[in-house]
Structure 1
């Protein structure tokens, strides 16, 4: 009887063992961009990486406190075939900025007064894109961006690099919430596109 009980215990313990295999967690290690580059995009990402590394000094920019108004809205289709509302112009008090963003989700950076004309130039200009540099974002509290600006007095498009910081953000914070509570902690003209 003792032998039978022992055999049953062995069979049950083997039969009930976990079928899940444990594996060592593989964590993605952030790699620094280095030449040679496969294309112009990789080259520009490298320039952005080096610019932040060499030129970054924390800044404190206040939000725009005047009236912000969306002008000339129009609808277009996004990549998924959904209609989205775009703004062709945004007024900040008595100044108007033309914007043309590839990704409309960044429009709230302007609508919330984080970015506004006086931070960029005293003269007229047009923003024709803003993109997040996700490869430079090491913390959920910080997001870095590249912005393309056309200024009539300059022949070439100007590239600005900027950083937004949200002390309350975590990995689960969506972009809308991140921007709502963010502050502009760095912005500087980086280079001209030739």
Structure 2
């Protein structure tokens, strides 16, 4: 009986292990920000740097499965979820159009996102791109900052944006501070 119990535990342990093989990607930054700051932008870059240092845990999020339609600055996921983008580089729409980031990731139906930008100073590795955006929530006066990371294990220094997004996956999302 004890032998059967050990075999059962062993089989359950193996069956619960991840199907995906994860590869760690080392991310270094040649720039290390520290106080004092000359403006609010430097302060926010420092907060983003510290958030990645202290809160970073790599996770592999699944892509959205279902129909994705783009109607200008609004990207719809299925029938009910959508992301509305404004005040951002239109190239970044591909992150949403490819289903890498969608409202369900934050357990909401809709996202109003502004000021989406890549934080190039936070990664020297061509396989990793880190971003920051402002999330506007209903009934809240001020937006909240979120950071996220996309990883493409096939990317090199020569990989263009479209190719990077094609094979990328969301590997980190974290809420940050409130914009006052």
Mapping of residues 1-194 of structure 1, within 5 Å: 30-71=30-71, 87-94=72-79, 95-194=81-180
Q: Between 116-125 and 136-145, report the one with greater CA deviation.
A: 116-125
Report how many residues are paired: 151
Larger relative contact order (CA 8 Å, sep ≥ 6): 2
CA distance, structure 2, for counterparts of residue 96 and residue 61 of structure 1:
18
Alignment deviations for residues 77-126 of structure 1 (CA, whole Å, 9 cap, x no partner): xxxxxxxxxx2211100212211142111110000000111112424431
Q: For residue 141 of structure 1, report the CA deviation from its aligned partner.
A: 0.4
CA RMSD between the two structures:
1.4
Q: For residue 45 of structure 1, report the CA deviation from its aligned partner.
A: 0.2
CA distance, structure 2, for counterparts of residue 121 and residue 30 of structure 1:
34
**TM norm structure 1:** 0.74
Contact 1:99 1:127 in 2 (8 A): yes
Query: Matched residue of 2:73: which SS?
Result: strand
State the 4+ residue runs in structure 1 displaced beyond 3 angstroms: none
Contact 1:124 1:152 in 2 (8 A): no
**TM norm structure 2:** 0.80
Contact 2:82 2:109 in 1 (8 A): no
Structure number having the greater strand percentage: 1
Query: Matched residue of 1:129: which SS?
Result: strand
Query: Matched residue of 1:125: which SS?
Result: strand
Q: Between 93-102 and 103-112, report the one with greater CA deviation.
A: 93-102
Q: For residue 176 of structure 1, report the CA deviation from its aligned partner.
A: 1.3
Ranges in structure 1 where 5+ consecutive residues have no aligned partner:
1-28, 72-86
CA distance, structure 2, for counterparts of residue 56 and residue 154 of structure 1:
27
CA distance, structure 2, for counterparts of residue 125 and residue 89 of structure 1:
10
CA distance, structure 2, for counterparts of residue 53 and residue 156 of structure 1:
25
